[in-house]
Amino acid sequence: MEKTYKGHLAMLSANVIWGLTAPIGKTAMEGGVTALSLTTFRMVGAAVAFWLLSLFVRREAVRHEDMIKLFFAALFGVVLNQGTFIFGLSLTSPIDASIVTTMTPIVTMIVAALYLREPITGTKVLGIFVGAMGALLLILGSRSLSASGQGGNLWGDLLCLTAQISFAVYLTVFRDLVTRYSPVTVMKWMFVYASMCYIPFTYRDVTALDWSSFSARTLWCVSFVVLGATFVAYLCVMVGQRRLRPTLVSMYNYVQPVVASTVTVVLGMDTFGVTKGAAVLLVFAGVWLVTRSKSRAQLEAEEAARTAGGADETGK
């Protein structure tokens, strides 16, 4: 029970941070930092941070075959996930991108069913549906998003969907790495691989930045994106992955629009009304329902218990 509690707390923390990342990252880019450069800072900065942290924890030897798996984990969990989303966001509207992100739990449930043979139960489907309705209610009712006036774009939407699919694959297919090694070991190698993939394509963009023009506010925002939204958030996701099922981990994705909406209210950019209250309740009700759904291991244990009970009755 304590392990599950820590998993929920870790995933809630990660998605609260990611919910704050959109306005803070936007501020950084308005201060002169390009999207490509900011993504590169995330990759390299997180790699350095995780390697420094690894100096203070027990060193683990990673098997050669797992080093290859870590590369593909980085490809799906970091490179494709963050890279395609940024390019997709540059082509489509924020509201379209936000709506597409609600597909993550659905895609994760399907991948988990195909790869891990996790059951698609009625409770799980209902939870995902209820949570998605709450997230969509927040997104579509957001004045800041609907007032942007930007139209959607098919290619941009498809890129954003690719980002969600890649993250769903990461949560499901590479879960064995998360349980085999410590979060620090997995993350330090994943972000090294991610940096190696990004730098050849983005170093010119980074070197072209006018560092002298950056204000203290811009530098603070970049630091938050690197250390908070990447280093701390991904560490929390790893803790959550070790303790929770992939579909439940992905359900916390619905917390992000709740946080973003709350921030707009606190900053006086929006008001908190009945619609937002209902949306927040739907999101957390959806998470609770998925928590209550049974895993394959639980269903198999119940079936084994019924079989054993039937055998005992026959023996009598």
Going residue by residue through the chain, which has 316 residues, state the pLDDT in tens, using 9 for 90 and above: 566 888 889 999 998 898 787 778 778 888 888 888 888 998 999 999 999 999 998 889 899 999 999 999 999 999 988 878 777 766 765 556 666 676 777 778 888 888 877 777 788 788 888 877 877 776 666 544 444 444 456 777 788 778 888 988 888 888 888 888 998 999 999 999 999 998 988 888 888 888 888 999 999 999 998 999 899 999 998 889 888 888 788 878 777 777 776 776 676 655 566 776 777 777 778 777 776 766 566 555 656 656 656 555 555 5
Sign of the Cα torsion 10, 14, 17, 19 reads negative
120: its two tokens: 């698609």
Kindly report the CA angle at 291 between 22 and 173, in degrees rounded to 5? Answer: 70
The predicted structure's pLDDT at residue 51: 95
313: its two tokens: 């009755």
Cβ atoms of 25 and 233 within 8 Å: the answer is no
Contacts of 18 (CB under 8 A, 6+ apart): 229, 233, 256, 259
| Other beta carbons within 10 Å of 175 | 19
Determine the Cα–Cα distance for residues 37 and 100; give it in Å rounded to an integer: 24
The alpha carbon of residue 81 and the mean position of all alpha carbons in its chain are separated, in whole angstroms, by: 9
- In the block, residue with structure tokens 């060193």: 59
Q: Give how far Cα 275 sits from Cα of 16, 132, 279, Å.
A: 20, 15, 6
- In the block, residue with structure tokens 């993550």: 104
**DSSP for residue 59:** -
Q: Which of 157, 139, 161 is nearest to 148 (CA)?
A: 139
The predicted structure's pLDDT at residue 297: 60
Cβ atoms of 189 and 75 within 8 Å: the answer is no
The predicted structure's pLDDT at residue 190: 94
The alpha carbon of residue 194 and the mean position of all alpha carbons in its chain are separated, in whole angstroms, by: 16
**DSSP for residue 293:** S
Cβ atoms of 252 and 97 within 8 Å: the answer is no
Contacts of 208 (CB under 8 A, 6+ apart): none
Name the amino acid, one letter, at 100.
V
Cβ atoms of 241 and 174 within 8 Å: the answer is no
Runs of H (alpha helix) within the chain: 2-30, 35-54, 64-74, 80-91, 94-101, 104-115, 122-140, 143-146, 154-173, 175-180, 183-207, 216-223, 233-243, 246-251, 255-266, 274-292, 296-315
Contacts of 221 (CB under 8 A, 6+ apart): 24, 25, 27, 28, 31
Q: Which of 128, 94, 140 is nearest to 282 (CA)?
A: 128
Cβ atoms of 251 and 105 within 8 Å: the answer is yes
